[in-house]
Structure 1
Amino acid sequence: MSLQAAALLANSGLEPDTMSTVAELDAFYAEFGYTGRRDGDRAELDRVRAVRPALYELLTADRDAAVELVNAMLAEAAAVPRLVRHDVWDWHLHAVEPERDLPVRIVVETAMAMIDVIRSDEMSRLGVCADETCRGVVLDLSRNRSRRFCSTACGNRNAVAAYRARQAKD
């Protein structure tokens, strides 16, 4: 869930920007089940928007670079992993207190999720959109590892272009 949230947030910084209002941040917070401190103001939105480049860099890095970024993110936040249980979630890891700023929690939760990706050598699950006009993050959770596009819009645009190219040949 943390990686899906991070990919969506990283991609929200691409054109068109899809995280520009507090209402959009509210929807993001609810969709991905974040808990803990929530300021709900423009300043918090601006701080969340400011972490998007770091998330994008992490999600598109190679394995060795991802290790360096994860370690730096966890050190900067003084993250200390601990088991917690809350709401509908059974025991799981958190590495920062729920009172910490939302952008810090987002970065740390993403870094913690990346630990599993790195350790299991699954970096191929992350990539950049195959659409030549897009540089969105692709998180491929499919069983057959076939996801190539960051969104349905990019996939459809390429399918239409391929169809038109085939029709032009006939």
Structure 2
Amino acid sequence: MTFAPDTVQSLHSAIALVNTAEPREALFSLEDLDRFHADYGYTGRYDRTTDELNAVRELRPRLRGLLTSTRDETVRLANRVFRETKAVPQLVRHGSFDWHIHAVEPNAPLTRRLLVETAMAVADVVRGNELDRLRICAAGDCQRLVLDLSRNHSRRFCSTTCGSRVGVAAYRERQRRNPAK
């Protein structure tokens, strides 16, 4: 299934944000938040305060729940976000982005916009019956999230580092079990 560009962008940004907490904190400073904000093309209100940075950090577990829950739980969590934020979907166009959906005003706090955009994206994933595209990295010691947009649903790892580490470990285990004679 192909998702709308704003859905893909929201999923990528939410997963990147959640993954800043794993395996260790990577959202230390306002400069880190600046990079995230710029990398994912956020527009609208951006206070750039320590309070905002802390609020974004505190939002990550809630986003993780939206991205990793069962279908029924994801629907419940997304609907709660829509109710709490009084989300009203609107088509908008700004900057280099063509028509896409926003559901809160651009002057809403960054955390509210992040939360609603993630809930909107997850709603598309649920409607497309594609929740299996959101998963936890297959490396046993990694808890980072993965967005699998591959045609054959084959992406298993959050990064080439995790994939390589698992591959090397499997190779070493095979060598240990079947030493060359």
What is residue 166 of structure 2 aligned with on the other side? 158
TM-superposed deviation, 1:85: 0.7
Gaps of 5+ in 2: 1-8
**Match for 1:62 among 70, 83, 87?**
70
TM-superposed deviation, 1:152: 2.2
CA distance in 1, matches of 2:42, 2:167: 35
What is residue 132 of structure 1 aligned with on the other side? 140
TM-superposed deviation, 1:129: 1.2
Q: What secondary structure sits across from 1:159 in the alignment?
A: helix
CA distance in 1, matches of 2:174, 2:19: 31
What is residue 86 of structure 2 aligned with on the other side? 78
Q: Which amino acid aligns with 2:152?
A: N
CA distance in 2, matches of 1:94, 1:88: 15
Does 2:20 correspond to 1:12?
yes
TM-superposed deviation, 1:33: 0.7
* 1:15-43 per-position Cα deviation (integer Å, ceiling 9, x unaligned): 21111211111111111111100111211
What is residue 105 of structure 1 aligned with on the other side? 113
CA distance in 1, matches of 2:162, 2:150: 17
Q: What secondary structure sits across from 2:14 in the alignment?
A: helix
- If the length of structure 1 is used for normalisation, what is the TM-score? 0.96
TM-superposed deviation, 1:65: 0.5
More off after superposition, 61-70 vs 159-168: 159-168
Identity %: 51
CA distance in 1, matches of 2:148, 2:98: 25
Q: Which amino acid aligns with 2:56?
A: V
**Consecutive aligned runs of 4 or more in structure 1 exceeding 3 Å deviation:** none
Cα RMSD (Å): 1.0
1:19-34 alignment to 2 at 5 Å? 19-34=27-42
Gaps of 5+ in 1: none
1:134-149 alignment to 2 at 5 Å? 134-149=142-157
Larger Rg: 2
Q: Which amino acid aligns with 1:97?
A: E
Provide the aligned length of Structure 1 versus Structure 2: 170
TM-superposed deviation, 1:55: 0.6
- If the length of structure 2 is used for normalisation, what is the TM-score? 0.90
Does 2:135 correspond to 1:119?
no
Contact 2:23 2:142 in 1 (8 A): no
